Amino acid sequence: MTRPAVLRTGYGLLAAAFAALAASVLPVGGALIVPSFFLAFVAAWFLAFSDDDIPKWGGFAILAFVVLTAALFVLSNPISFSHNGRYYVEPVSPTLAQAVYDTLVSLSPVIVAGAALAAAWERETPVRVLLVGGAVGLLVVEVVTLLPASGQAQASLLLALFALSALACAIGAGWSAARPEEYA
């Protein structure tokens, strides 16, 4: 694949990942959360192996985040396997690993949005504005969810802000994918 095709594919997959994340707030959209992060993981591969320096490091940041999250998941759960008997691998501190894992999972939209912003930093100003707005919106949602809840109205507003922020990220990443003349 040519460099523009690799970058377009990476940005397009990021746009699809954020669109799925935005749709996940719909009543039947909860099943889209896992596919959205799978799409972001595949997009990270395309960006990481592009010849463009900034998107490459944005892709590597997402890949490193996925590896760290998987490692913390393994560390937070006891593992047993059988080979000429039973072997058990107990985590060093399951509660600490579980707490860090939960925090990373809850921050994952913000981290992916930040990496998408870094990957698209060389694009047009509206792309950066959309991605910065989306990342800030996702960060606000994360911070407010850490505060004590004040009712259903707050939850509805947070879901709306989450969907709007993810949609802004999807538009920004899609715009990056649709601008071939910037890759020349």
Phi, psi dihedral angles at 50 (to 5 degrees): -85, 165
Q: What are phi and psi of 75, to 5 degrees?
A: -70, -25
Beta bridge partners, 79, equal 89
pLDDT at 84: 65
Q: Average pLDDT in the 161-173 region?
A: 89
**R_g over Cα of the chain:** 18
Q: What pLDDT shows up at residue 143?
A: 84
Overall domain count for the chain: 1
- Cβ atoms of 113 and 135 closer than 8 Å: yes
The amino acid that residue 76 corresponds to is S
pLDDT of residue 46: 93
Per the confidence metrics, is the pTM higher than 0.85?
no
In contact, 166 and 1? CB cutoff 8 Å: no
For the stretch 21-80, pLDDT in tens is: 889 888 877 788 888 888 989 999 998 988 788 888 888 988 988 888 877 777 776 666
Instruction: Report yes or no: 9 and 46 within 8 Å, Cβ to Cβ.
Output: yes
Rounded-to-integer distance, Cα 33 and Cα 64, Å: 19
Q: Do 173 and 18 meet the contact criterion of CB atoms below 8 Å apart?
A: yes
Domain extent at residue 60: 3-183
Q: How far apart are CA 99 and CA 116, in angstroms?
A: 26
Looking from the CA of 28 toward its CB, the CA atoms found within 13 Å total 0
Asked if 184 contacts 22 with a C-beta cutoff of 8 angstroms, the reply is no
Per-residue model confidence as pLDDT tens digits over 86-116: 666 665 666 777 777 777 777 778 888 888 8
Q: Give the model's confidence band at 13: pLDDT under 50 very low, under 70 low, under 90 confident, else very high.
A: very high
Closest CA to 16 of 162, 144, 174: 174
β-bridge mates for residue 89, sequence order: 79
